[in-house]
Structures are given as structure tokens and as C-alpha cells.
Amino acid sequence: MNQTIIEFNNFKWHYSNNKKFRLDIQELKIRKGSFVGIIGPTGAGKTTFCYSIMGVVPHLQKGRMEGSVRIKEIETKNSSLNVLSQKVGLVVQNPLSQMSGAGLNVEEEIAFGLENHGYSRQEMIKKVKKIIELIGLKEYARRSPFELSGGQQQKVAIASILVLEPEILILDEPTGYLDPLSTDMIFTLVKELKKQGKTIIFVSHKFEYLNELCDEIILINKGKIIKKGAPTEIFSDISLLSKNNLSAMDVTNLFARLKKAGKWKKRFAVSVEESEKELRSEFPWMR
Amino acid sequence: MALMITSFIQRDSFIQELNPISKIFLILLVIASIIILDNLYITYFFLINVFFLAYLAKIEKEFVKGITIVMLPIAVWFLIIHGIVNPAGKTILFKIWFIPFRKEGLLFALNFGSKLVTIISYFYFFIITTYPGDIVGSFSKIGLPYKAGFLINSSLQMLPLMQRRAEKILEAQEARGLKVKGKLKDRFKAYTPLIIPLILGALMETYERVLAIEIRGFSAKVKKTHYKEVNFEKKDLIFCFTYLFLTLILIIGGGNF
Amino acid sequence: MDEIIKIEKLTFVYQPANVKALDNVSFSVRKGEVVGIIGQNGSGKTTLVKHINGLLKPTRGNVFVNGVNTKSKEIDELSKTVGYVFQNPDDQIFSNSIIDEISFGPKNLGFGKRRIKELVEEALKTTGLEYVKKNHPYDLPYNKRKLIAIASILSMNTEVVIFDEPTTGQDYLNRRIVIKIIEELKKKGKTILVISHDMDFIAETCNRAIVLKEGKILLDDTTDKIFMKKQILKSTRLKPPQITRLAQRFKRIYDGTLSVEGFFNQMYK
């Protein structure tokens, strides 16, 4: 079922204190169930992009919007965050600021979103239990979210959003403040969610992970979509990345170095596995 | 390494299980009686009472520590200031380094200060014996606005967080050569580099937190439900009636103390 | 005396929680070295470096900076020799202008007006902030504020500079600026310690790395040799830089290769 779940049409947005358009997207369609990676330098407009799908733009930010963003048949402009929060979820970079303080333990923190939407106690208990199992938070269920590590808090944040069962999950650099172990844990979790058919939008600088998980990559810079394509296409295009103040991964740079020395004429690899394969096939003397 | 605990302490006692409204009811009774009666004995009765309740709640150690650390310096300062400069002061009781301390000023400070200390002690008692998650639930059960309860609840949770952050800020500024010990002049200069990051950081985090709760439907125009049950039980009725009864006796007994 | 930092049987226990964060740690750092401190969260990295500028004092053992035992010195005294750039710039920024913020450190150290001006100008240049020096720090985005925090320590002109996670939250451009800053400090002969999760960054800037696990030193060696110890790194769940992992798949290529150029050179010598 590859229907379009998110659609941008002639969308323009500028914040009220700045005449220039922060985001300008003529046309974009995202298919249901796809895992889309968003890359771009700082200040490119990636967060505004996430806000536009969530509905934070235009409902919580002051500015002017033109055109439309559609979540299935709902237009974000004409809807409200209350409705949108049941279709779309957003997890941001700082784990601490997502702990609402609504309850003293993880269970209550997760239930907060359900409380806001008026679910009955029986339903809440059931849903919270299910999410805690799914995300692996049983051990921390009765502890205060404020005592947990950044990685665990981020898991709680994800759980608090997923308990509302949105079809679309947006993650805006969720591993920015986390250590490698927690980062790995978050990516593993998101991989599981992908298997369950959720549509996932993931903003990150961690190209190695994105290459492994994403169906497609969107490169955003200066408020516009510069290019959209398969991970291998985007991550191997060194000049595209460098023009947009990004860097290709080191293994890709190796192939560029080989090309510069006249030793490589094919496509550049974008992962360690791919690099090994390509090197061995082209240079059998590489043992 | 916090000097004073500002968050809920879980102990096995009925005080922690009480509906927050019952405790707020008690606080209102205390404030009312202290103001209506203007009687020092009654003030001290209530002061002793809150320490008694702290003992019942099994938090007496933390409570005494917290109260002493905050109240003692303020109380001493209060006494000194009023003892010296209060205009009602006439009779000189004693002198320290030629500075006269007058009886009327000291009496005023003792009187007013005791009332203040008592009331603040009750608020502190409330904070450390009340489960924040219950505050929201109990508020809406009696028809108070959900957002008010949420505000109180989440502010209380932020206190220990701010404490931790203040420690981090202190370390960062000390690492830049900021002197925090020693001369009074140095301590004053240390104020801005410590307070500003704390406030700005708190503002930014609040902004982000507002975003986070809106994304979870905080403003949904639906009747909010509650995950944890908060009820008005028998012990709440007994607690409230006991203190209502006591307060009435004190008020009626009135000036007879 | 070449040893600018000497850690001798350092043990630290956090009270009242009674948590042992460091267990009998010993090592020395020579003047001019750039040492990476790596390990998972909770391994003791921050606890360790906080002893070097006196924020923490040992429960047992000793810490010497330039031959002086830190137990006998106050934090503000040690800050003349040891500069510490904290991870979150918002935990320290309080001034109304960037130039004021950067002047705070050297003022506290008691430098004269002219010297302060010199040091501040230099710090602004190194971090690329000259053109915004009159701006309010919060006019700049988070990643640039991290540079302000770095500049405010550079202006103190300390012999030792400690960086705590300088590249978290940074994009490619800013990362390169941080790498450039460290290179410039190296040239000036400063001693640098870097705590980081970014293995590529450690590989590029540090000549030596110390791996901590549960408060103990697991490995202490040159960076290339560290990343070759696959099993040990696995036990503490650390992953070597991408190019090193590729190098380790080929017998012909040195297992401790840290750069693209290094890899290429080994293919075509």
C-alpha cells in the first residue's frame, strides 16, 4: 500500500521576525511506511521542516504560511495540534525537556499524552503496559524519569509519543546528546518500528546509520529541498555534500582519493561492507 | 550533594497517602488562625504541630535539616535588623560593639518572624510529603483547573533539577577563576554569573517543554482523565475534621491563652 | 620536569551515595601531548578530569599539576594553569556581549587591561568570532555558542586545556573549526585533554588515548594502537572510526590506520 501519507504543495513559511522564507517546498510526497532520512547543515531548515509536518508550524509559531501540508486528507493549517498529535509524533534532541514532569514515574510520564486525550483508565493501563514492553522499559517503569540517563530518557520520550499510536514518527536529531551505546539503542529501536510499518522521518548527521536504515534521503539547505534520492545516490555524491557544507563518510572519501590518483572509475561506496566488496573485486591483490 | 531536599520523599506513612487537598486545607486553617488570632502561643502550637506531622511522616531528619538551613539565617538576620532599626524600638536591652538592640524591635521580630516561619514550614512540609502526580488529579477532582494543578506539579519537579543545574553552573564559573569563598565583595560579584545562566537555561527549557507537552495534546479540549487514582478517603476525613475541630476550639478559646 | 599532569593511584568515591567513580587510576601527561579520554557514560571520564582543575579532590591518591599537589590549591588558583571547557555553553554564558563573556576569565585571573585585550582578540580570531564580538551571545545559534565557550577559556591562556565533548551537537563545518582550534593550541605547545564520544574526532586530533571502564584504566596507548585492540574495545562497546574498521578487514592494511590518506598510502606506496 504505497499511498502518499505526507504531501507538501507550494508550501512557504517565514517566521514573523524575519521576512525571508525559512522553508520553501514546492512539491514533496512521502509514501506511507517509508523511512526517510533528512540531512543538511545547521540552520538549513530541517527543524522547521519537522515542525511543518507536526503542525507546530503554523499552530505554535508566529509567522506566515502559504500553500499546504497534508497528512493523509487532513490539512495541517485547518486542523489543530490536538488532532494532529494523534496522527503524528515528534521527538526532539534534548531528552530532559521532553519529560513533562506530569508524573513521578515513567509509567505516569508515558500516560500523560493519553490523559490529555481523555482515554479511560483501563485503556491507559493497557496501552502503557504494551508500550513499556515494546520499548523495553520494564526495568524503569516505576522510577522517576529525571533520574534516568539521557538515553533512557529518550526512550521514555519515544514511548510517550508512540503510546498515542501515531502513524508518522518524526525524530529530530534524537541522538545528538547521547553516548554511542544509547545512540545504538535508539537506532535499533527505530529499526524495529520501521518493521511495524510506521512512517519514519529521521533527521541526523550520522550518515552511517542513515545509510543502513533509510529508504530515501532528503538533503535540505537554505530552506529548500536540494536533492531527494536513495542513500547510495546521495552519500556517494561528494561534490553535492561538500557544496552543502556536509562531508561524505571516510570510506567514500577513500574512493574519491583513488579516483584522483586515476585508480578508480566506478561509483563510490557508502558503507564498510560495500567498500570491502568493491575493493576486493577491483583489486584482487588487496588481501 | 544538595543541602536541602526540595522534592517528594517516599516513606511508609499515611501522611504521604493523604489527598493533597487535605494538606492544603490544613495550611489554610493554619494561615487563618494565625492571622485572625494574632496570638504567639497558638503560632507556636502550630509550629510544634508541623514538626509532629513531620515525625509521623517519618521525614523528621530531612525536615529539620531543610528548615534550619533556610530559616535560621533568615530568622537571625530578621531579628538583628528589627532589633536595631525598627521605629517602635525605645528600650535598649543590650549592645554589641556599641550598636544598641532595642526590646520593642526584637519583640516585633520574634512575633512576626515566628508566624512567617510557621507558615513557610507548612509549605515545605507539603512539598516534601506530597506525591506530585497526585496534585493534578486531586485538583481536577474538586473542579479546580487542570492546568493549575499541572503547573504546581511540574514546578515542584523542576526544583531539584534546577539545583543540579546550579551546581554545574557553579563548577563552570569556578573553572574560569570565579571566587565564591572569602570576602563579601567577591560573593556579591559572583551573583550574576551564577544566576543568569540558571534563569536563561530555565526559560529555554520551559519553552522546549511547552512544545513537548503541546505535541502530546496538552491543549486538547477534551475532559482530561487520570492514570493514577486520587481519592478522598476515611483518613482524609479524619485528618481534616480533627484539625478543623482543633482550630475552632482555638479560635473560640480566642484570647484566653 | 616534562610531566605537567601526574595522576597517582587516584580513587574517588561520591558521597553520600557511596559510589566509587575512580579506582586506583595512575598515569602522567607530558607537556604538549593531546590525550583523548574515552569510555561509555559512567566510566569516570568527567570525574577524572575534574580532579585536574581541582573541582574534585581525591578520596585517596594524589593529583599533581606542574608538580603541585591539587589538594593544597583552590579551584581559582588552579584555573590559572588548567582551563576547562564544559560541554554545555549555556551553563556558563551570562554576559551581554561576546567580548565581555570572553574577557571574564582573564579578568578573574588578574591580568592587566592591555594583556586582557590581547588575549581576547586572539581568542576571537582563533574561534572565528571577531565579526560578532559586540553581539549578544544568544543572537548566535547553539553550535556557535559552543565556540564562545571555547574562546572564553582560550583567553585565559592556560597551559592545559580540557575539552568536554566539544563536538556534540556540531555539524561538519563547526567540527572542522574545533579541530583547527586544537591544532593551533598544539602549535603553541599547550597540553590538551579531550573527552569525546566521537571516535573520528579523537583519531584526527589525539596522539594518545586513555580508555576508561567502570573507573579503571582499560587501555592507555597511542591512538592507533588503541583502535587495534578490537576485543577490548568491544568489551566496552566502543567502535573504532569507520576508516579503521575498513582497514581491519584487510591484512595488507595496518589495523591502526586512522585516516583516508594513510589507507591510500598503504595501497600505493
pLDDT at B220: 83
Q: Is the pLDDT of residue C165 over 60?
A: yes
Q: Is the pLDDT of residue C118 over 70?
A: yes
* Chain B CB contacts of A128 below 8 Å: 227
Give the number of residues written for chain C. Answer: 269
Q: Do A93 and C246 touch (CB under 8 A)?
A: no
In this complex, which of A180, A263, A286 lies closest to C250 when CB atoms are compared?
A286
Question: B137 vs B64, which has greater pLDDT?
Answer: B64
Instruction: Locate A240 and state its grid cell.
Output: 553535492
The count of C-alpha atoms lying within 13 angstroms of the C-alpha of A106, restricted to the half-sphere facing its C-beta, is: 26
SS3 A194: helix
CB B26 within 8 A of CB B243: yes
How much of chain B, in percent, has pLDDT values that exceed 90?
Answer: 17
What is the rounded average pLDDT for all residues in chain B?
Answer: 83
- B182 vs C: CB within 8 A: no
CB C142 within 8 A of CB C171: no
Where along chain B do its domains lie?
Answer: 14-137+234-252, 158-215
Q: Do B225 and A115 touch (CB under 8 A)?
A: yes
Instruction: Enumerate chain C positions whose Cβ falls within 8 A of a Cβ in B.
Output: 15, 50, 53, 55, 74-76, 79-80, 83-84, 86, 88, 90-94, 104-105, 108-109, 138, 152-153, 156
Mean pLDDT confidence for B135-148? 75
- A176 vs B: CB within 8 A: no
Interatomic CA distance for residues C259 and C269, integer angstroms? 15
Q: Do A251 and C246 touch (CB under 8 A)?
A: yes
- B133 vs C: CB within 8 A: no
In this complex, which of C79, C93, C138 lies closest to B175 when CB atoms are compared?
C79
Residue with cell 510517550: A160
CB A226 within 8 A of CB A23: no
pLDDT at B62: 87
CB A255 within 8 A of CB C267: no
Q: Do C172 and A245 touch (CB under 8 A)?
A: yes
pLDDT at C46: 94
Q: Where are the alpha helices (DSSP H) in C140-190?
A: 142-154, 172-187
- B179 vs C: CB within 8 A: yes
Q: Is the pLDDT of residue B142 over 80?
A: no
| A177-181, B65-69, B228-232: segment of lowest average pLDDT | B228-232
DSSP string, chain B: --SS--S----SSHHHHS-HHHHHHHHHHHHHHHHHH--HHHHHHHHHHHHHHHHHTT-HHHHHHHHHHHHHHHHHHHHHHHHHH-TT--SEEEEETTEEEEHHHHHHHHHHHHHHHHHHHHHHHHHHHS-HHHHHHHHHHTT--HHHHHHHHHHHHHHHHHHHHHHHHHHHHHTTT---SS-HHHHHHTHHHHHHHHHHHHHHHHHHHHHHHHHTTTT-SS----SS-----HHHHHHHHHHHHHHHHHHHHGGG-
Question: Which of B176, B179, B191, B194 should be substituted to probe chain C, the one whose Cβ sees the most C Cβ atoms within 10 Å?
Answer: B176
Mean pLDDT confidence for B179-193? 76
Q: Do C83 and B175 touch (CB under 8 A)?
A: yes
> pLDDT tens for residues B241-254?
999 998 888 877 76
The residue in chain B having the minimum alpha-carbon distance to the alpha carbon of residue C54 is B175
Dihedral of CA A106/A107/A108/A112: which sign? positive
pLDDT at B254: 64
Q: Do C40 and A180 touch (CB under 8 A)?
A: yes
CB C257 within 8 A of CB C224: yes
Q: Do C94 and B192 touch (CB under 8 A)?
A: yes
pLDDT at B4: 66
In this complex, which of B168, B176, B196 lies closest to C79 when CB atoms are compared?
B176
pLDDT at B91: 80
Look up the ipTM and state it: 0.89
Interatomic CA distance for residues C171 and C169, integer angstroms? 7
Q: In the structure, what pLDDT confidence band is assigned to residue C37 with cuts at 50, 70 and 90?
A: very high
pLDDT at B97: 79
The residue in chain A having the minimum alpha-carbon distance to the alpha carbon of residue C239 is A180
Q: Do B225 and A81 touch (CB under 8 A)?
A: no
Q: Do B171 and C153 touch (CB under 8 A)?
A: no
Interatomic CA distance for residues A106 and A128, integer angstroms? 10
What is the rounded average pLDDT for all residues in chain C?
Answer: 94
φ, ψ dihedrals at C208, nearest 5°: -145, 150
φ, ψ dihedrals at B36, nearest 5°: -65, -45
SS3 C93: coil
Q: How distant is the Cα of C234 from the closest Cα of chain A, in angstroms? A: 11
In this complex, which of A179, A182, A287 lies closest to C250 when CB atoms are compared?
A287
Amino acid letter, B179: K
Interface of B with C in 185-204 (CB under 8 A): 192-193, 195-197, 200-201, 204
* Chain B CB contacts of C153 below 8 Å: 176
* Chain A CB contacts of C260 below 8 Å: 250, 253-254, 257
> Which residues does C223 contact at the CB level (< 8 Å), separation at least 6?
C36, C202, C203, C206, C207, C208, C209, C256, C258
pLDDT at B110: 86
| A269-273, B70-74, C224-228: segment of lowest average pLDDT | B70-74
pLDDT at B1: 35
Q: Is the pLDDT of residue C1 over 60?
A: no
- pLDDT block averages, 10 residues each, chain A of length 287: 88 84 92 96 93 94 93 93 93 92 85 92 94 91 88 94 95 91 92 91 96 96 96 96 95 96 93 95 88
Q: Are strands A23-31 and C208-213 parallel, antiparallel or unpaired?
A: unpaired
* Chain A CB contacts of B150 below 8 Å: 102
| A118-127, B31-40, B162-171: segment of lowest average pLDDT | B31-40
Q: In the structure, what pLDDT confidence band is assigned to residue B225 with cuts at 50, 70 and 90?
A: confident
In this complex, which of A151, A253, A283 lies closest to C260 when CB atoms are compared?
A253
